[in-house]
Amino acid sequence: MKTNHVEKILSNYQSINVEEVNKWWRKIRPGFTHKIVVLDDDPTGVQTVHGVSVFTDWEEETIEQGFAEDNQIFFILTNSRAFTAKETEQVHRDIAVRTEAISKKVGLPYLIISRGDSTLRGHYPLETEVLRQTIEAESHMNVDGEVILPFFKEGGRLTIENTHFVQQEDILIPAGETEFAKDRTFGFKSSHLGEWVEEKTNGAFSEAGVTYISLESIRGMDIEGIIDQLLEVKNFGKVVVNALEEEDVRVFTTALIIAIERGKRFIFRTAATFTKVIGDISSRPLLTKEELISEERENGGLVIVGSHVKKTTDQLEKLRDLSSLHFIEFDAHLVLDKEAFQIEIERVQREAEAKITEGVSTVIYTKRKRLDLGDGMKEQELQLSVEISNAVTSIVRHFSVRPNYLIAKGGITSSDIGTRGLCVRRATVAGQIAPGIPVWKTSEESTFPFIPYVIFPGNVGAVTTLRDVVSTLEG
């Protein structure tokens, strides 16, 4: 069922008293000193933050470096949405063991957040369950609950009456009825988050057993009532948080911090907004070209489009409005013929390098039709998609010209390009160039040091947003 007239629905709830929210926050937040470790299952989880570190490995010394930073929060890009279940399990076990050990070593308590997709895709409940089991084994203390908070206003993801919605224009579509719910790997049917928990856990946690933090409690500033709900949570019980605005998340987080101070332990499965709120990161204006490109170069920029969701394809078509750009289709279907595929990789790279050297910004996009080998060939398709991704990243890694900027469209695409194409080990999040679209500034060891790298999620933005981002950087 599609629900029209977003503003009308939102008007059903009392407005939030921002002054009262901030008063509580100023009273409670300064005393909260836990280190906040965010595990990002693709690079888009920094959609709301700025001035924080993103690490692309999880070796013990890397996590210790994160703990040693002055910043209270840091991100580890696991890119686990591109992993098998077995790989995901091992990575999360390793991270949990190392984080617990470093926390004990430096004497600093921590929160661990599994930052997942705001449209509910990903290795859930596997990731948080592995974290819970490992942390309990290493710390000999129980984790009382798991907070589920997929609200992400910039992407139009709202949770109302315990149901998660995706906003498209002025329509709210239940998440289970969107194209994202039909994901071949991480699909689901339920939009009500309690039912979604029951569905994803195969009944291990029932919808009836979930604790729901209502908008009525949040908008009524019933901090004590929310604290009481959280104090009752045990046995890794699930806590679903409703939210329409960032301030709703701040009210909940105020109560959460008090509950933690009273001894409760939680793990978190959330979208990007919660990381900004719990990390106490200020809002900042959208980034300008002047902030991102400090020295004007004659070379053009490079845009790589890998995501195949309909929104990306529509945005790619709108990008063609910019007549100054050069477009190159990368025929990824040639992956079935190794020799022809290698020739195609070299053709695309040569053409892109030549155009960028001429000062022409260039768009490389994979063939829009997905490679379909037929029924029962899912594993083979996955392997071929890995080969295609490797080809795209190799183009960036071996690019002989420094682009003026780099944009990667799609979560997995942007992760692979960041880690294996640009060879980033640590980046700083500069901020956002458009709502929900973060920019990394690469570090010195990168293929192209200090280049502005725009991480553009496949499922974010209006049809014109990719065009607008490129226009900003083109100036």
Q: 467: which 2 tokens? A: 């065009």
Q: pLDDT value at position 58?
A: 97
Pick the more confident residue, 325 or 154: 325
CB 409 within 8 A of CB 306: yes
Q: 37: which 2 tokens? A: 């470790």
The neighbouring-strand residues paired with 152 are 157
Q: pLDDT value at position 1?
A: 43
Contacts of 32 (CB under 8 A, 6+ apart): 257, 260, 261
> pLDDT at residue 378 above 80?
no
Q: Which fold has domain 289-474?
A: Molybdenum Cofactor Biosythetic Enzyme; Chain A (3.40.980)
CB 402 within 8 A of CB 296: no
CB atoms within 10 A of CB 83: 17
Strands (E) located in 104-234 = 110-115, 145-149, 157-160, 163-168, 171-174, 211-213
Please state the domain extents for the chain.
Answer: 3-278, 289-474
d(CA 311, CA 9) in angstroms, rounded, equals 25
d(CA 89, CA 67) in angstroms, rounded, equals 23
Contacts of 363 (CB under 8 A, 6+ apart): 303, 304, 305, 316, 319, 325, 326, 327, 328
Helix axes 246-261, 18-28, angle to 10 degrees: 30
* 191-204 average pLDDT score: 98
Whats the size of the chain, residue-wise?
Answer: 475
pLDDT grade for 438, boundaries at 50, 70 and 90: very high
DSSP secondary structure letter of residue 245:
S
Q: 237: which 2 tokens? A: 């019980």
> What is the bridge-based pairing of β-strands 3-4 and 53-55?
unpaired
> pLDDT at residue 376 above 80?
no
Q: pTM for this structure?
A: 0.90
Q: 443: which 2 tokens? A: 């570090």
Q: What is the pLDDT of residues 1-29, one digit of tens each?
A: 445 567 777 788 999 999 999 999 999 99
* 209-222 average pLDDT score: 97
d(CA 75, CA 113) in angstroms, rounded, equals 9
CB 82 within 8 A of CB 120: no
Q: pLDDT value at position 307?
A: 82
d(CA 109, CA 469) in angstroms, rounded, equals 39
Pick the more confident residue, 349 or 377: 349
Tell me the pLDDT of the chain averaged across its residues: 93
* 246-259 average pLDDT score: 98
Query: Kind and range of the H or E element at 130?
Result: helix 126-139
* 96-102 average pLDDT score: 98
Query: 3-278 in CATH: which number?
Result: 3.40.50.10840
Query: Kind and range of the H or E element at 23?
Result: helix 18-28
N- to C-terminal Cα distance for the chain?
42
> pLDDT at residue 411 above 90?
no
Q: pLDDT value at position 385?
A: 78
pLDDT grade for 309, boundaries at 50, 70 and 90: confident
Q: pLDDT value at position 383?
A: 76
> pLDDT at residue 138 above 60?
yes
Using CB atoms within 10 Å of the CB of residue 70, give its burial: 0 to 12 exposed, 13 to 18 middle, 19+ buried: exposed
Nearest one of 85, 244, 267, 232 to 158, comparing CA atoms: 244
Using CB atoms within 10 Å of the CB of residue 133, give its burial: 0 to 12 exposed, 13 to 18 middle, 19+ buried: middle
The neighbouring-strand residues paired with 454 are 407, 439
Q: 15: which 2 tokens? A: 């407005």
- Torsion angle, alpha carbons of 144, 237, 280, 425, to 10: 90
> pLDDT at residue 295 above 90?
no
Q: What is the pLDDT of residues 45-89, one digit of tens each?
A: 899 999 999 999 999 999 999 999 999 999 999 989 888 899 999
Percentage of the residues of the chain whose pLDDT score is greater than 90: 81
Q: pLDDT value at position 5?
A: 61
Nearest one of 408, 414, 308, 315 to 366, comparing CA atoms: 308
* 252-268 average pLDDT score: 98
d(CA 170, CA 200) in angstroms, rounded, equals 29
Nearest one of 183, 181, 186, 154 to 167, comparing CA atoms: 154
